[in-house]
């Protein structure tokens, strides 16, 4: 592909050094970078390539669009079905957030094991109340979805001497786990695990894939952690599980409605740790996502196959 004819739009500001790297890969290309939604909307009409967020308005304007790269792993917040229908290629930043998401999962697991919700409240209330704590050592970690994030989490759980089981749609040999379970048999994973971490992408098939049946299968001493997408979980079933003691607690970086409404019962539950969808928000992850974009730009200009191309059927 002739780089000199390309019009590239990045929907975030970039440094002069980053601009130089883009132009080195696509000499003569017309490149615009802006963090202004209004400006991005006006520039979208002439864009062949958009790197960053593409909402419905931008997608409707971008009639020339041939390729979209998103800095996120999931593409559920993009009008990806419409983009596919128009023949655009969609690539994601799969793998860029694996380390930070795995770290965040472990943080939530440790906070729940070490009773941090209680100690945070005690500190705020100037109380000194000693209680027994739990441990990760010797416990079973269940990973629901075994992509890049799941594999990194399994690797990081090993130094804690945890047993690791995982469930995925197409089970095959997977290094780093003690047992691999087909997704349709996921209740077994919930039944075995002391900690279940959800890393699934949001697709038509995974909406509310975690519901009452799965949560009731868990041990009453078990903890559920979600760092993927809120709609993967039936939130009302989760609230019941937390209030009625089906499970011991939960760590949530994502919820069904974001921002989480002030009236949500989740805020008041003392066995829940909530973070505001920030698990993947780190400079290191953004830098890796930009590297994936640059590699795909190089491949596009060279006529090579891109990496991290989103499957039109699976939606991830």
Mind telling me the catalytic residues?
Answer: 229, 258, 277
Cα–Cα distance, 77 to 66 (Å, whole number): 19
Where do the structural domains in the chain lie, given as residue ranges?
A: 3-95+282-302, 98-274
The confidence score (pLDDT) of residue 1 equals: 58
**Cβ neighbours for 125, distance < 8 A, ≥ 6 positions apart:** none
At 33 the pLDDT is: 97
Among 176, 201, 254, which Cα is nearest to 92's?
Answer: 201
146-175 pLDDT, tens per residue? 999 999 999 999 999 999 999 998 877 678
Q: What is the pLDDT of residue 183?
A: 95
Q: Judge contact between 92 and 285, C-beta under 8 A.
A: no
- Fold match, 3-95+282-302 / 98-274: yes
Name the residue among 188, 242, 202, 199 with its Cα closest to residue 220.
242
**CATH code of the region 3-95+282-302:** 3.40.50.720
Q: Which mean pLDDT values do the consecutive 10-residue runs of the chain (316 residues) have?
A: 82 96 96 96 96 92 94 91 91 97 98 97 97 97 96 97 94 83 96 98 96 98 98 98 98 98 97 97 96 98 96 88
CATH class, 98-274 region: alpha beta
* 280 phi, psi to nearest 5 deg: -100, 5
Reported pTM: 0.94
């Amino acid at each position: 592909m002739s780089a000199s004819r390309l019009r590239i739009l990045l929907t975030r500001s970039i440094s002069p050094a980053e601009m130089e790297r883009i132009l080195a890969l696509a000499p003569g290309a017309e490149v615009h970078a802006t963090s202004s939604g209004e400006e991005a909307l006006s520039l979208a009409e002439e864009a062949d390539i958009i790197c960053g967020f593409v909402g419905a308005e931008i997608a409707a304007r971008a009639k020339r669009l041939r390729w979209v790269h998103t800095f996120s792993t999931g593409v559920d917040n993009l009008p990806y079905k419409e983009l596919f229908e128009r023949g655009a290629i969609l690539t994601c930043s799969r793998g860029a957030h694996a380390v930070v998401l795995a770290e965040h999962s472990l943080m939530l697991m440790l906070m729940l094991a070490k009773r941090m919700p209680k100690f945070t409240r005690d500190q705020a209330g100037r109380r000194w109340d000693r209680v027994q704590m739990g441990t990760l050592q010797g416990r079973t970690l269940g990973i629901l979805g075994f992509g890049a994030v799941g594999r990194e989490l399994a690797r990081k759980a090993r130094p804690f001497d945890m047993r690791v089981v995982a469930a995925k749609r197409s089970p095959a040999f997977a290094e780093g786990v003690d047992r691999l379970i087909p997704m349709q048999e996921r209740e077994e994973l919930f039944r075995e695990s002391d900690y279940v971490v959800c890393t699934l992408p949001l697709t038509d098939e995974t909406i509310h894939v975690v519901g009452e049946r799965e949560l009731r299968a868990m041990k009453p001493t078990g903890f559920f952690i979600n760092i993927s997408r809120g709609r993967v979980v039936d939130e009302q079933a989760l609230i019941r599980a937390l209030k009625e003691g089906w499970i011991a607690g939960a760590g949530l970086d994502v919820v069904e409605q974001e921002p989480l409404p002030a009236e949500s019962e989740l805020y008041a539950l003392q066995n829940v740790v909530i973070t505001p969808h920030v698990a993947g928000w780190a400079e290191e992850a953004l830098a890796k996502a930009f590297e994936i974009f640059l590699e795909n730009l190089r491949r596009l200009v060279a006529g090579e196959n891109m990496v991290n191309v989103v499957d039109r059927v699976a939606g991830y």
